[in-house]
Amino acid sequence: MTFPASCPSVRGMGARAWVDESIHLDVEAGGIYVLAAAIIHEDRDLDDIRRQLRRLVPRRQVRLPWHTEGEGARMRVIDTIAELRLEHVVVIRAGVDPKRQERARRKGLERLVFELSQRAVAQMIVESRGPKLDGHDRDLMAAQRGFQAAGSDINVSFARPLEEPMLWIPDAVAGAIALARSGRESRYYNTLIDTLYVCAI
């Protein structure tokens, strides 16, 4: 399985990518499935990034509630992410049948893994969806290794956003892209645009 070459951004080995999704099924032209990866190169201080993210969490909450917050809070999150100047790779699959979300995810992950391989990503940390669905992602990576596909050697692990603030970044990015793609709100996307590589499949 091959994809066209994308913009190269290789800075050295050892980069990590945190991955999350956003799904909008109430779109006239069909559902939208978005996978976003925030790439962190080995020269960045992860603890400092986590501290910056935790400062955005409202009192009496334990994580960034992107999906339930108002425009002002969302804009503060997006502004902070933009200031971090990370690389974000986003894969969009449109026209998604609500009954075939796993197929949309599988196709999206195949492309995402390819794109991450072009950026020297060695490890991918994906938001856990529970043992059964995480198993589907593991099976996909095993199949990719069998095909010797680009990126099949990326190490994949799973984490929960309550325990790993880095996952809050792709959650917000994916949500921002989904809102823009569905025609609801483009300010968040426009703020991030210089840090994004977006491909539709």
For 54-107, the pLDDT digits (tens) are 999 888 777 776 777 788 889 999 999 999 999 999 999 988 887 888 888 999
For 161-175, the pLDDT digits (tens) are 989 999 999 999 999
In terms of Cβ atoms closer than 10 Å to its own Cβ (0-12, 13-18, 19+), residue 75 is: middle
pLDDT of res. 193: 95
Q: In order of start, what are the domains of the chain with their CATH numbers?
A: 15-200 (3.30.420.10)
- With a pLDDT cut of 70, the percent of the chain lying above it is 88
| Residue partners of 67: CB distance under 8 A and separation at least 6 | 175
Residue 45 in this model has a pLDDT that exceeds 80: yes
Rg for the chain (alpha carbons), in Å?
16
Could you give the maximum distance between any two Cα atoms of the chain, in Å? 48
pLDDT of res. 13: 53
Residue matched to tokens 């992950």 = 109
